[in-house]
Amino acid sequence: MRKYTLFYACALLFTACSNPSEKTFIAINGIDSSRKPGDNFFLYVNKKWEDTAQIPASQSGVGAYMFMNYPQRLRLQGILDSVSKAPNAAGSIAQKVGDFYLSGMDTATINQMGFNPIKPILAKIDGIQDISSLLQFVSSEAKNYNASLIAFGIGPGNKNSKLNIAHLYQTGIGLPERDYYFKSDPASKNIQQAYKNFLSTLFVLIGNDSLTAKKDAEIVYHIDLQLAAAHRNNIELRDVNANYNMMAVTELSKREPNMDWNKVLDELGAKTDSIDVAQPAYYDKLNTLLKTIPISEWQIYLKASSMRNYASALSKPFVDADFEFNKALTGQDMQKTRGEIMANVVDQLLGDGIGEIYVKKYFSEEAKKRMLELVNNLQKAFAARIENLDWMSDSTKVKAKDKLFAITKKIGYPDIWKDYSKLNIVKGKYFENMVAACSNNYQYELSKLNQPVDRNEWFTSASTVTAYYNPFANEIVFPAGILQAPYFDENADDALNYGGIGMVIGHEMTHAFDDQGAQFDKYGNVENWWTKTDYEKFKAKTQQVVQLYNSFTVLDTMHVKGAMTLGENTADIGGVAIAYDAFKLTKEGQDTSKIDGYTPDQRFFYSIARIWRVKMKDEFLRYWINNNPHSPPMWRVNGPLMNSVHFYDAFHVQPGDKMYLPENERIHIW
């Protein structure tokens, strides 16, 4: 689900799951029997649902995967409604979470304030007189996560994953990524204009006349355009080594004299003599533009950037303007309810706070035990697959399995919750609370600089429907949020669980061995552990993945971007194969008895199609193709299954079926 993945295996050590008689055999329904499963298995399973499913007006899609976070946010809203009404002890996490939520729900006060909360910020921008004061403002705001021109972060480095270091990333643009600025097709032109309209509206809202507002919007867009030209695109950002560039601060200061890096880092509170400049071309360009663009235009740009950053925390006209721009990007017809918005904000800024409450209410220790059993079984199955690879040498197999069994498994929730004791939350002050939470989170991150990496830390909240592999820690993480139907049901039969969360587990494991993860060793360092010949074979196989997914037409003439989605597609193909092997190690997986008219294998593949059951608007699908490293849901199902002989056997897929690939064209990496 997220960027990375992991893998393991060893069939001989398998421990059978609980007795199938204790499980609930869930009925399979909604199959479109008018379709051949070998033509489009995603639609064979999901088309009837898709034809009747209604996308809520406040959403851009409906179904599983990321869209499960919609009902999840409603569940969180229920928790927050309850907590906010309770007599919580001052300083408790319940008080902080509840009062933060209440302050955001108090739209009467927020609307009455208008844009007063950002007037001090706009006044600071008016006071900028030169490059030095400009950078001082930008650096100061970065500590509140307003990354207008500088995006600064703390995390492990490629060469030493045990130590947290400073990183700089490209930023500075208002559209999702650089290519939006340089495309000339009608859809892209509409989005460019919507962005300009958004900027113009923001300027009107702070008192500019419409003519001046449009002129200022063009100034901002022109600066954006110049910065975007120096950005790397989403495919280039996947290059592990190209996006890691350690530099001494003295060297960086000489390279970019206009940036005055010593003062910038001092303002950021970052004491370091070296820094990873992930995308140097961006900061080289910014260094030049600081001299060539007049301060008066930078002031206009920074006002726009600040208003964009804070719009959702201001009065209704700002929220409406923000929504109209988002509508152009995603096709969402109606704004989310205030309760849903606030549940999301609390989850983002006080994630461990709401996560701790969520876990106590909705996650059982039995679910955690069953999940760990599944993870261990997939790890064993993965090891067996590595041992049987016909393209990898024995010496590389040993190192691959070594990495596989070094993977850390995190399930449900962190052992230690984050400490919010230094965060002060006050009722009726939403903007101030939001800034305080951002500042608190920044200081938490800053405290890690030059310190050992805490391998117990989580990078998502326990309540979020997601999963991820972290290559720097060689770990897989499955929050409580995803451990629910359709992915996981502790009482469901093995076929559904292995085809559901099992596929996700295998996916995350495989990320340890996709084109990015394969460059990290078992400790999380970028280190080559391959023989030259094996790695060349591996790259050739990943190129097959790129070519196959490039062939998938998704919307009009738009295709899946095979190079951008390579890591996720590799993980999907591996995830299905590993999950199937693990399933076959169970007592139920070895049985052939039909349940509800379907064989265990058919139920396994049905579950895979069901966990990616999603319907979305064309606008959001276009946004997805341009920005999401995953293939759209249909191809997360059909792509891997086209390469699975067991799928062919389960549904009698034959030459002439649209999903059929000749055996010599099927992709087998892991």
Note the pLDDT of residue 596.
87
- Whether the ω angle into residue 486 lies within 30 degrees of 0, i.e. cis, is yes
Distances in Å between the Cα of 38 and the Cα atoms of 554, 595, 647 are 18, 21, 9
Alpha-carbon gap, residue 141 to 152, rounded angstroms: 11
Mean pLDDT of 482-507: 95
Per-residue pLDDT tens for 160-169? 999 999 999 9
Note the pLDDT of residue 126.
98
Note the pLDDT of residue 12.
23
Distances in Å between the Cα of 322 and the Cα atoms of 187, 408, 461, 473 are 19, 40, 25, 37
Spatial contact of 327 and 333, defined as CB atoms under 8 Å apart: yes
Mean pLDDT of 40-53: 97
Per-residue pLDDT tens for 274-284? 999 999 999 99
Instruction: Provide the mean pLDDT of the chain.
Output: 94
Alpha-carbon gap, residue 232 to 281, rounded angstroms: 8
Note the pLDDT of residue 27.
85
Spell 341-355 as b/e; 16+ CB within 10 A means b.
bbbbbbbebbbbbbb
52-59 long-range contacts, CB within 8 A, separation 24+: 53/615, 55/615, 55/616, 55/617, 56/334, 57/332, 57/333, 57/334, 58/332, 58/333, 58/334, 58/335, 58/336, 58/337, 58/340, 59/332, 59/336
Q: Where in the chain is the domain with CATH 1.10.1380.10?
A: 115-313
Note the pLDDT of residue 374.
96
Per-residue pLDDT tens for 451-480? 999 999 999 999 999 999 999 999 999 999
Note the pLDDT of residue 490.
87
Alpha-carbon gap, residue 2 to 482, rounded angstroms: 13
Q: Where in the chain is the domain with CATH 3.40.390.10?
A: 35-75+349-665
Per-residue pLDDT tens for 57-96? 999 999 998 899 889 999 999 999 999 999 999 999 999 9
Strand ranges for 313-457 from DSSP E: 408-412
Per-residue pLDDT tens for 208-253? 999 999 999 999 999 999 999 999 999 999 999 999 999 999 999 9
Mean pLDDT of 292-318: 98
pLDDT of 360 higher than 50:
yes
Least confident range from 21-35, 38-52, 107-121, 426-440: namely 21-35
Note the pLDDT of residue 1.
42
pLDDT of 17 higher than 70:
no
Note the pLDDT of residue 24.
67
pLDDT of 492 higher than 50:
yes
Note the pLDDT of residue 21.
40
Mean pLDDT of 596-605: 95
432-435 long-range contacts, CB within 8 A, separation 24+: 432/117, 433/99, 433/100, 433/103, 433/104, 434/104, 434/313, 434/345, 434/349, 435/144
pLDDT of 22 higher than 80:
no
Per-residue pLDDT tens for 182-201? 999 999 999 999 999 999 99
Tokens read off for 334: 């109606």
Note the pLDDT of residue 25.
72
Mean pLDDT of 439-449: 97
Least confident range from 14-28, 211-225, 352-366, 540-554: namely 14-28
Q: Is 535 exposed, middle or buried (0-12, 13-18, 19+ CB in 10 A)?
A: middle
Angle between helices 633-641 and 600-611 (to 10 degrees): 150
pLDDT of 7 higher than 90:
no
pTM: 0.93
pLDDT of 9 higher than 50:
no
Note the pLDDT of residue 26.
83
Q: Determine the 3-state secondary structure of 167 from DSSP.
A: strand
Annotate 277-327 with DSSP letters as a single string: ES-HHHHHHHHHHHHHS-HHHHHHHHHHHHHHHHGGGS-HHHHHHHHHHHH
Note the pLDDT of residue 23.
65
Superfamily of domain 35-75+349-665: Collagenase (Catalytic Domain) (3.40.390.10)
pLDDT tier at 491, thresholds 50, 70, 90: confident
- Give the whole-number percent of the chain exceeding pLDDT 70: 96
Mean pLDDT of 495-524: 98
Domain 115-313 top-level CATH class:
mainly alpha
Note the pLDDT of residue 437.
98
pLDDT of 324 higher than 90:
yes
Q: Is 365 exposed, middle or buried (0-12, 13-18, 19+ CB in 10 A)?
A: exposed
Tokens read off for 493: 């039969």
Note the pLDDT of residue 259.
97
Q: One-letter amino acid identity for 379? A: Q
Per-residue pLDDT tens for 122-137? 999 999 999 999 999 9
Least confident range from 25-34, 143-152, 263-272: namely 25-34
